[in-house]
Structure 1
């Protein structure tokens, strides 16, 4: 389809993704120069539709970007009042006191927020400054210039047939060109993957590591609600099967965020992350809270967990990677939104200086320097060994050695451990099915725990069925020969939306992709043992429609 003729639009800066990083970049550009032409392209049906995060927000990012955010009515109002941390057994719990934890772990001054609503508000601020924001516009291709630089993106292609050919109502989309292109797609973005591969931006760095985060919003009995309470747990039900933990955040209006994170470097291919989440809710600590309440929303997304040593080079000619496209989550703090905002601000300032100096489509090295040497680098470097300690030696080592390492970094700016590596990718960490026991999961009760497809309906996800599947197989036969025969089909378990299934397993197994269920978490792109599944963007507006995740 290289002969397709598309209209073009020219901008100073083209931004892909209306998350906290992309919107921060757009706002900062307009703050610096109101005459700059800035556009933000968002694949969700509206800004915030695809945003899912815990989230306890460190306000340092929004403070730096919009100091008067309180006066402007930002939906950042529920202050953290109480901070609890528990180690769980199957029936009991042990409280971990706050005093041994490094100061960086303190949530005092932070806020429980819906990042979807924060992004909706940020979009209003950006539009008031003159930023053009186009939701429902998936960016399906990178446009390269004559010298190999990133010149722009293709956005808004609609009406392809299931085989990828143009249908009767085909719309080819447009090319949006910029002096610089910012990719703020979030974790494992499809265009970011292409740019990282083309320019070898991850050469010489540790593989990126990931977690799968699943989240439900509950309305609970007002008598049990404690606005501003933050609770984190580790231990049961995962035990030694996988790293991970939970969060329970009491926001306003008698609502609670209940979330569960499973690190994707687990070995046992029989592990079923979604069912671990559902089982977790039957622990007395959680069950007692949720009984008498109702679940009102569900969603899932991958989380970048590699941190400092997994951050690729962030710039190439004409393009910069922002936020989770790089991987800026502080794992022990379970926070990354503040760094995403700071990265957008830094990229905007670098692009403004470049454009002012008459430069176009070169590498914004000043942006990378600021990220690595400024507040973001300081935040991530001090906790860089917690994740590899957890992965290699388990929870106890992570709490003890990781805690000691964070203290030495906080007090002296050095680590006695240096910088530890992560080793294998999460896909390569998956073991052969024959070497691991199957795991028996209790059936959901329909009150506290739910089957996967019922819960997916609460993500309000939708994809036009006549379009091509956005989930591609490099070699279709591999899913049976490798995924099923060697690994017992983990794709039908690691997906939190029930997209993948094997049918006719008593005769000749057949692999089925129910792409309509996809909530765009991208776990399949990360965890598939053969790296045979490739996540790409569906047509614009498709996917989940999260209300206030």
Structure 2
């Protein structure tokens, strides 16, 4: 199938790209064919975010979003930032709260619902949105330029051979192909390596974000409250924190983020999240409530200093596939929409000029002139300071994002760099203390399997495993032997288990049907032996209200 533009991923970045392309075509009375591929069963099925949304980019894209009944209905009414100790909590005075933690004018949203609404807007403009089709590979022309993508074959058995339900994947050819897969995109990762897009950049940095949706008692509900915490249960050298947002209809979005540069292989982000909810300052919001949904997703958190080159012959990276998240604000959807718009404007002008297959250089040039660049530049050191410990990071964030703006300095005059990738930080198990986690109480804290059940995750079991190993001997030889099997702890869905082998030893069992597509294993595996590839389209989580 031939298109002018093919977009991989129906998230906020991909849909913003598609909408802006169609808007520009309509303004000039031109025809342009645009296709969006979405590996989830529907747009929004795989979307997970906190989320507080800054509407600035959405207003630029769709100024009448209120009249079009976009699901931005709960404005933030109050901000709180707490530093937690095991039993206590210290609130940061509002006057000392850095601007990056203030949310006046922003909205507490289900980003999945926003994406579903955006998909309807895109289809109304004539965009073809194909859900349940995973882009499995990149197509290249003879000149090395990207010429499109191929969708995955359907109906393969576990042995990789066709079954009676076999359907061959389809090639989608395009003059430009835009990749909007989200954090640690499968194809985006390949493109960054193929074209050397990250040369000269700081290593990318990631976190894992875990989230639950709760329905709480009416008397505990404070619509519009946006609360963030740092501190307990994480140690001072481990980056992370939490969010707790009071949405409409007695709903609370509660989540926990752990930087994937953590050192102790005994740490379990899932267990830390469960333990966090038992703190008195958090328990008072949730107690007596009912957990409705659960999910997890990697977060691209390196910021401007880790941002790769975003264009290459025949295509571009937008949104979190590139890494535009402002981690200091804990916001990325506005950046995703803005970069999608900038990319679309560059692609449209190229098509108007009769070009195809070249680099859309106007896209990064437009970014460097935009308000988004200024925003990310102000926050460029945020994650780097946390490499030096929580106390240093807290002090320097206060200086950079509270003091300097009040002194009239719009840009931070210094830059802090990193040189070590997240997976290289893991220490051997013998160098670290084991962490004892309490058993779940079934009221505030829960186990993995009951949590995965709430994510509505499903994969066709008779298909090749999409969690692959470069070397099958590495898990036992290195991961278990040196690091005590960290994949059994960092995976938030119980995909990886070390079980007894018939020969009396142990083996790694991969429960691929549990996979939430969070990409944590692809990022944190200390030997980079695990490679996440696309399963059959339509598989994975089917999030509700996330």
**Which category of TM-score, normalised to the shorter sequence, fits these structures?**
over 0.9
Is the contact between residue 40 and residue 540 of structure 2 (CA under 8 Å) also seen in structure 1?
yes
Question: Which residue number in structure 2 is paired with residue 452 of structure 1?
Answer: 448
TM-score for both structures, normalised by structure 2? 0.97
**Aligned-residue offset at 1:156:** 4.9
Structure 2 distance, partners of 1:165, 1:199, is 32
Name the SS of the counterpart of 1:369 in structure 2: helix
Is the contact between residue 100 and residue 328 of structure 2 (CA under 8 Å) also seen in structure 1?
no
Structure 1 distance, partners of 2:425, 2:151, is 36
Q: Does 1:527 align with 2:519?
A: no
Q: Does 1:434 align with 2:434?
A: no
Name the SS of the counterpart of 2:219 in structure 1: helix
Is the contact between residue 18 and residue 344 of structure 2 (CA under 8 Å) also seen in structure 1?
yes
Is the contact between residue 138 and residue 157 of structure 1 (CA under 8 Å) also seen in structure 2?
no
Structure 1 distance, partners of 2:78, 2:397, is 23
Q: How many residues align?
A: 539
2:400 to 401, 405, 415: 405
Distance 1:466 1:40, change over 3 A: same
Q: Which moved more, 1:312-321 or 1:104-113?
A: 104-113
2:541 to 539, 544, 548: 544
Question: Which residue number in structure 1 is paired with residue 297 of structure 2?
Answer: 301
> 5+ unaligned residues in a row in structure 2: which ranges?
none
Structure 1 distance, partners of 2:22, 2:292, is 37
Name the SS of the counterpart of 1:428 in structure 2: helix
1:23 to 9, 15, 18: 15
**Aligned-residue offset at 1:375:** 1.9
Distance 1:453 1:151, change over 3 A: same
Q: Does 1:78 align with 2:78?
A: no
Name the SS of the counterpart of 1:331 in structure 2: coil
Question: Which residue number in structure 2 is paired with residue 13 of structure 1?
Answer: 5
Where does 1:35-434 land on structure 2 (aligned, <5 Å)? 35-240=31-236, 242-392=238-388, 394-407=389-402, 410=405, 411-416=408-413, 418-434=414-430
> 5+ unaligned residues in a row in structure 1: which ranges?
1-8
Indicate the RMSD between aligned Cα atoms, in angstroms.
1.2
Is the contact between residue 382 and residue 409 of structure 1 (CA under 8 Å) also seen in structure 2?
no
2:491 to 491, 495, 509: 495
Structure 2 distance, partners of 1:234, 1:492, is 25
**Aligned-residue offset at 1:241:** 5.3
**CA displacement 1:429-470 (0-9 Å, x = unmatched):** 111111001000000001110011111100010010100010
Distance 1:98 1:359, change over 3 A: same
Structure 1 distance, partners of 2:160, 2:141, is 25
Is the contact between residue 346 and residue 371 of structure 1 (CA under 8 Å) also seen in structure 2?
yes
Is the contact between residue 408 and residue 414 of structure 1 (CA under 8 Å) also seen in structure 2?
no
Name the SS of the counterpart of 1:99 in structure 2: helix
Structure 2 distance, partners of 1:143, 1:228, is 46
Name the SS of the counterpart of 1:116 in structure 2: helix
Structure 1 distance, partners of 2:235, 2:55, is 33
Structure 1 distance, partners of 2:371, 2:533, is 32
Structure 2 distance, partners of 1:409, 1:504, is 57
Distance 1:327 1:194, change over 3 A: same
TM-score for both structures, normalised by structure 1? 0.97
Is the contact between residue 213 and residue 293 of structure 2 (CA under 8 Å) also seen in structure 1?
yes
Question: Which residue number in structure 2 is paired with residue 468 of structure 1?
Answer: 464
Structure 2 distance, partners of 1:204, 1:248, is 37
Is the contact between residue 14 and residue 180 of structure 2 (CA under 8 Å) also seen in structure 1?
yes
**Aligned-residue offset at 1:408:** 6.2
**CA displacement 1:121-159 (0-9 Å, x = unmatched):** 000000000000000000101111110100000125201
